[in-house]
Amino acid sequence: MANNDFQVLIDSDRIQKRVVELAQAISRDYQHRDLHLVGVLRGAYQFTHDLSGALEVPHSVDYISVASYGASTRSSGNVQLRMNVKYPVTGKDVLIVDDIIDTGTTLGWLMEYMESLRPSSLRTCCFLDKPSRRRLSLATDYVGFPIDDLFVVGYGLDYQEKYRELPFISWVSPREVLV
Ligand code: IMP
Ligand code: MG
């Protein structure tokens, strides 16, 4: 599929503007703190990169990798740690940076895991949120865009490891993707 075959839900300009707004809000809240971003691979790699670049406060960046989906378009409800963080988070003001909250299973698991590592504070920043799909009640501190219950790709989000490179968020039904 060529890039112009996709139905664009959020274009690249809106994404970049919203990332700057989020970075400004986070920068205001984290002045004189020990801000430590933990990006969730692989979906949040683009978002973590752009957010970090737009922040106006010093911070460090680490990554963690978890899997909850397998190859389906629905969460399996089963979270596995694929790659752990590299740097200690104890005493740091940790901000988990994730691509999308769907049922909340992944983020709920990650928050519990991070809490067990004793950060000084813990918040979340998610690029997309599908509130209608939530099965776990979660405090979401910073959200890019709430969206309807659609399966989306682009800006780091994949369908079976494809379409992460698209600079926009697109709605693609799995049937179309498979064609
Ligand atoms: P949850 O555990 O159900 O909240 O699922 C969260 C994870 O599922 C995200 O980090 C994504 O990797 C994946 N996911 C959920 N919805 C979508 C989507 O619409 N497109 C691509 N990946 C998604
Ligand atoms: Mg994924």
- Looking at all shown ligands, the one closest to residue 134's CA atom is 1
- Looking at all shown ligands, the one closest to residue 79's CA atom is 1
pLDDT at 13 over 90: yes
Contact in structure between 61 and 39 (CB atoms under 8 Å): yes
Residues with CB under 6 A from ligand 1: 43, 68-69, 75, 98-107, 151-153, 157
pLDDT at 70 over 60: no
Please state whether the peptide bond connecting residue 164 to the residue before it is cis, i.e. omega within 30 degrees of 0.
no
> What per-residue confidence (pLDDT) applies to 179?
44
If you average pLDDT over every residue of the chain, what do you get? 91
Percent of the chain with pLDDT over 70: 90
pLDDT per residue as tens digits for the range 103-126: 999 999 999 999 999 999 999 999
Query: How many angstroms is it from 88 CA to the middle of ligand 2?
Result: 25
Average pLDDT over residues 18-31: 98
The answer to whether 102 is a known catalytic residue is yes
Distance CA 124, CA 147 (A): 17
> What per-residue confidence (pLDDT) applies to 141?
97
Distance CA 106, CA 169 (A): 21
Out of 50, 93, 99, 102, which one is annotated catalytic? 102
Query: How many angstroms is it from 101 CA to the middle of ligand 1?
Result: 6
What type of residue sits at position 2? A
Average pLDDT over residues 65-73: 70
Average pLDDT over residues 19-37: 98
Q: Which two tokens stand for residue 21?
A: 């707004």
Query: How many angstroms is it from 2 CA to the middle of ligand 1?
Result: 24
* Higher per-residue pLDDT: 78 or 107: 107
pLDDT at 47 over 60: yes
